[in-house]
Amino acid sequence: MKNLLVTGGAGFIGSNFIHYMQKQNADIRIVNLDALTYAGSLENLKDLPRPEQHLFVHGSITDRALLDQLFSEHKIDTVVNFAAESHVDRSILNPGVFVDTNVIVPVEGARFHHVSTDEVFGTLTREDPPFEEETPYAPRSPYAAAKASSDHFVRAYQTTFGLPISISNCSNNYGPRQFPEKLIPLMILNALNGKPLPVYGDGMQIRDWLYVDDHCEAILRILQDGREGETYCVGGDNQPPNIEIVKTICDILDELQPDSAFAPHSQLITYVADRPGHDRRYDINIAKIERELGWKPSHDLRQGLVDTVRWYLSNPAWVEAITKQSDYDNWLKKNYSDRKA
Ligand code: NAD
Ligand code: DAU
């Protein structure tokens, strides 16, 4: 792996992956193709450890001519595909763009790793066993359906054209540089500003939270030693209900900002109308990646949340730039103003 093409590398996980890879491998050259949608920003790439080994290209993964040009100009040997529309709530309000962006066909000519999600497996009851690589697909939101479709295309390209592929299906990530439409950064920023903390439904839905650097490490292990054609499930082994995550964020802010006019921050918690088709519970079995590649998460959830809250407190310029660039206030209005309890 010498010349890596990262797609969607100006977004949350993609940019963390580029930071991570530059720390791990001093020689690798990275071409980063990103369309800079509302979720992508060059702010996420400002403090790279080796900026001279990173080339940003503004463009879309749907532009095949551009991809061909990048492949031949930069002798790309490996692709890691993060580019996607990633927010379930947006897929409910505007599904079309999820079909346009997320239903990808892979690029031929290099090892192709596709970053996918546990949401392709649908939802679990309290009694169901965790998702694993063999769990049948049963996506329930437009976002998850489009991601499932791309997973099928990637596998079909391996079967039909012999493309060397791999796929990871990962659970919910959190950490620095996450766009504040997602639960954890939204709650941190709303709490800091004394705004309501909108908990969907009864707040007892369960996600399997993973610190973003752990996900980056899992992808690197798959690229290095993963078997071609294989799928690996990646998860955090952390399954508290949403309300517990929100309360923990409030506690951390109470500790870090004891003089805040909004403390105790838990007074801001507000139950609001549920997400339509809301998946109840995710849990993911990581036995395969642990057994084959020796990977398991290394970040403790509470410590990861403290680090994440500290990161948002220390980066007000990032928050200001990101929210300005992305028409953020409009999104908040659109998604939350009619969401009565
Ligand atoms: P994000 O929304 O923060 O970033 C997505 C990036 O893709 C943005 O920079 C955006 O500009 C770019 N993009 C969108 N359309 C594009 C296009 N047509 N061409 C090129 N770039 C385009 O998303 P994220 O949370 O970083 O997720 C990255 C990937 O990981 C997605 O594929 C997502 O499905 C998957 N994933 C996310 C999570 C999670 O918890 N966030 C968990 C599992 C898997
Ligand atoms: O499981 C992996 C997936 O995790 C990724 O594939 C997606 O890209 C990523 O967005 C994430 O999807 P979720 O829908 O689980 O993440 P989100 O942060 O939007 O919501 C997490 C939980 O919190 C979910 O049960 C909905 C709830 N929630 C979310 C928001 C934004 C609230 O209660 N209130 C909110 O305001």
How far, in Å, is the centroid of ligand 2 from the Cα of 181?
Answer: 9
* Interval 154-186: pLDDT, tens: 999 999 999 999 999 999 999 999 999 999 999
- The answer as to whether 78 is a domain residue is yes
* Euclidean distance between the first and the last CA atom of the chain, given in angstroms as a whole number: 51
- The residue contributing the CA closest to ligand 1 atom 1 is 11
* Secondary structure (3-state) at 4: strand
Atom 14 of ligand 1, residue of closest alpha carbon: 84
pLDDT at 243: 98
Q: Is 320 exposed, middle or buried (0-12, 13-18, 19+ CB in 10 A)?
A: exposed
The residue annotated as part of the active site, out of 85, 118, 151, 214, is 118
Among 177, 201, 207, which Cα is nearest to 48's?
177
Q: What is the pLDDT of residue 106?
A: 82
What confidence score (pLDDT) does residue 149 get? 97
Could you tell me if residue 197 is inside a domain? no
Is 126 inside a domain boundary?
yes
Ligand 2 pocket test: pick from 92, 116, 137, 200 the residue with the most ligand atoms within 8 Å of its Cβ: 200
**DSSP 3-state of 73:** helix
* Closest protein CA for atom 34 of ligand 2: 199
119 is catalytic: yes
Cα(156)–Cα(142) distance, integer angstroms: 21
The whole-angstrom separation of Cα 297 and Cα 288 is 13
What's 274's DSSP letter?
Answer: P
- CATH classification at residue 68: 3.40.50.720
Residue 173, helix vs strand vs coil: strand
Contact 17, 216 (CB under 8 A): yes
Q: Which two tokens stand for residue 162?
A: 């012999």
Given the CA of residue 144, which atom of ligand 2 is nearest to it? Answer: 6
146 lines ligand 2 (CB under 6 A): no
The predicted pLDDT at position 101 comes to 92
- Which ligand has an atom closest to residue 7 CA? 1
> Residues with Cβ < 8 Å from 228, sequence gap 6 or more?
111, 158, 164, 165, 166
Of 5, 16, 96, give the one whose Cα is nearest residue 59: 5
Q: Is residue 113 part of a domain?
A: yes
Q: What pLDDT sits at residue 340?
A: 77
- 30: enclosing H helix or E strand: strand 29-34
Residue 187: inside a domain: no
Least distant ligand from the CA of 15: 1
What pLDDT is stored for residue 26 in this prediction? 86
Is the Cβ atom of 90 under 6 angstroms away from ligand 2?
A: no
Mutation test residue for ligand 1: of 33, 86, 212, 234, the one with most atoms within 8 Å of CB: 86
Residue 118 annotated as catalytic: yes
Domain count, the chain: 1
pLDDT score, position 254: 98
Ligand 2 center–CA 236 separation, angstroms = 15
Residues in CB range of 103: below 8 A, 6 or more apart: 146, 149, 150, 153
Structural domain containing residue 27:
3-177+209-238+278-301
Round to whole Å and give the CA distance between 59 and 8: 10
**With a 6 A CB cut-off, is 117 part of the ligand 2 pocket?**
yes
How crowded is the C-beta side of 309, counted as CA atoms within 13 Å? 23
Give the closest ligand to the alpha carbon of residue 107: 1
CA distance 128 to 50: 45
Q: Quick check: is 133 in a domain? A: yes
Read off φ and ψ for residue 130, nearest 5 degrees: -60, 160
Mean pLDDT by 10-residue block, N- to C-terminus, for the chain (341 residues)? 97 98 95 98 97 98 95 97 98 96 87 98 97 98 98 96 97 98 98 98 98 98 98 96 98 97 98 97 98 98 98 98 96 93 71
Q: For residue 63, what pLDDT is reported?
A: 95
Asked if the structure places residue 26 within a domain, the reply is yes
Long-range contacts of 254-257, Cβ-Cβ distance < 8 Å, separation of 24 or more: 256/309, 256/310, 256/313, 257/192, 257/313
Residue 115 lies in a domain: yes
> Does 264 sit behind a cis peptide bond, omega within 30 degrees of 0 on the bond before it?
yes
Tokens 């407190």 sit on residue? 313
